Amino acid sequence: MTSWKTYKLGDILNFRRGHDLPKTEMVNGEIPVAGSNGVIGYHNVSTPIEPCITIGRSGNVGTPYIYDKCWAHNTVLYVDDFKGNDPLYLYYLLKTIPLASYGGGSAVPTLNRNHIHPIEIKHTPSLEEQRRIAGILGAIDDKIENNRRINTNLELQAQALYKQWFVDNRSDDWETLMLDDVATLSAGGDKPQICSEQKTPECNIPIYSNGIDNEGLYGYTNNPRITENSITISARGTIGFVCLRTEPYVPIVRLISVVPAYENMSAYFLYLWALTQNISGTGTTQQQLTVPAFRTTKIVVPSQKALIKFNQVVKTIFDNIKQNKKENETLATLRDTLLPKLMNGEIKL
């Protein structure tokens, strides 16, 4: 049986600081420039280590990323020596270490490689076992990514259908109305008193804000505010970020909810319509989108017959998207449950 021993992190890999590359010096290419938050641009030259594993060094510190190849920016640390270990295994190993807690600095947290190399971790020296562990976790992540790609294609299909039906081929009997005529608009409220960062049996209703990461997911609570299919639009910060909501939820500040006002005016139609709009805010010091202003937005409404037929077609598309998202939630939970157990030898392969 393979032995698991305690090692220092610096015994099994070596981190090096990334390299300067101002935006003005990026040459258009296909190589992602890896910053502390992920890809921040593209370049035509890569850091000569493949694959490339990075963690945030400045700003968003400690989050691991892995790329087939990349330019490691100076806001990251990257592994320049795998010391004979499997790179994908090392990537998953780093995800189990609370690297952000080692960041120093007050205004802008900074991660020093000399502070994390001495971290003690459990590790298997067997390359064969490393590859088995990485293979299990990698297969789950590959399935998640494949579902995301499928959903992207399904979204594009739905957008193309909307354009074909309602942009390229308009009919004389369609009406130009205000958004307030076809939907009920409301502004998000304060964060619920009962709030959990993680989904639990008691707190399983998502809370959404104006963020763009993970569709603006802020946390979870116990009671929904909106139960109907609807859309949300970010009203401050990144104004005009549109999301379709097909599960009960709670919108909080800086988010506008738009609920269809009658049966055949579906959230699917409103979502695809909103994606075609150049939604902007008003204000001098800080732009924001307000409910009163957005209510007056003009919307071309097709006949009831066209709406019913269109809803039937796109519902199948969005049902498939929803199913893939739910499968990804299940897969992510499985991966996150297996990860620490595989990485400390609790589960033997």
pLDDT digits (tens, 9 = 90+) for 63-84: 999 999 999 999 999 999 999 9
Compare 107 and 180 and report the one with higher pLDDT.
180
Q: Does residue 128 surpass a pLDDT of 60?
A: yes
Query: Under DSSP, is residue 122 helix (H, G, I), strand (E, B) or coil?
Result: strand
- CA distance from start to end of the chain: 9
pLDDT tens across 264-280, in order? 999 999 999 999 999 98
The pLDDT value given to residue 60: 87
Percentage of the chain exceeding pLDDT 70: 99
Q: Does residue 106 surpass a pLDDT of 80?
A: no
Bridge partners (DSSP) of residue 249 are 226
The pLDDT value given to residue 171: 79
Q: What is the mean pLDDT of residues 217-237?
A: 96
Percentage of the chain exceeding pLDDT 90: 85
The pLDDT value given to residue 349: 75
How many domains does one find in the chain? 3
Evaluate whether residue 273 is within a structural domain: yes
Evaluate whether residue 321 is within a structural domain: yes
Do residue 348 and residue 241 come from a single domain?
no
Cα(188)–Cα(323) distance, rounded to whole angstroms? 27
Query: Whole-prediction pTM value?
Result: 0.89
Do residue 137 and residue 59 come from a single domain?
no
Evaluate whether residue 159 is within a structural domain: no
Tokens describing residue 341: 């157990």
Angle at 36 between CA 9 and CA 146, to 5 degrees: 90
The pLDDT value given to residue 2: 59
The pLDDT value given to residue 256: 97
Q: What is the mean pLDDT of residues 179-196?
A: 96
CATH of the domain at 85: 3.90.220.20
- Pair 244, 271: CB distance under 8 Å: yes
Do residue 18 and residue 71 come from a single domain?
yes
Q: Does residue 283 surpass a pLDDT of 90?
A: no
Q: At what angle do helices 267-275 and 127-162 cross, to 10 degrees?
A: 90
Cα(134)–Cα(29) distance, rounded to whole angstroms? 30
The pLDDT value given to residue 348: 80
Evaluate whether residue 166 is within a structural domain: no
**For residue 105, what pLDDT band results from cuts at 50, 70 and 90?**
low
Q: Does residue 285 surpass a pLDDT of 80?
A: no
Provide φ and ψ at 169, rounded to 5°. -130, 75
The pLDDT value given to residue 322: 96
The pLDDT value given to residue 298: 96
Bridge partners (DSSP) of residue 17 are 77
Sheet bearing 183-187, strands edge to edge: 183-187, 255-260, 230-234, 242-245
Do residue 83 and residue 136 come from a single domain?
no
Do residue 70 and residue 104 come from a single domain?
yes
Evaluate whether residue 164 is within a structural domain: no
Q: What is the mean pLDDT of residues 231-249?
A: 95
Average pLDDT for the chain: 94
pLDDT tens across 140-183, in order? 999 999 999 999 999 999 999 999 999 998 878 899 999 999 99
Task: Provide the domain limits for residue 289.
Answer: 175-301
Do residue 111 and residue 74 come from a single domain?
yes
Q: Does residue 1 surpass a pLDDT of 60?
A: no
The pLDDT value given to residue 176: 95
Q: What is the mean pLDDT of residues 247-261?
A: 96
The pLDDT value given to residue 108: 77
Do residue 88 and residue 200 come from a single domain?
no
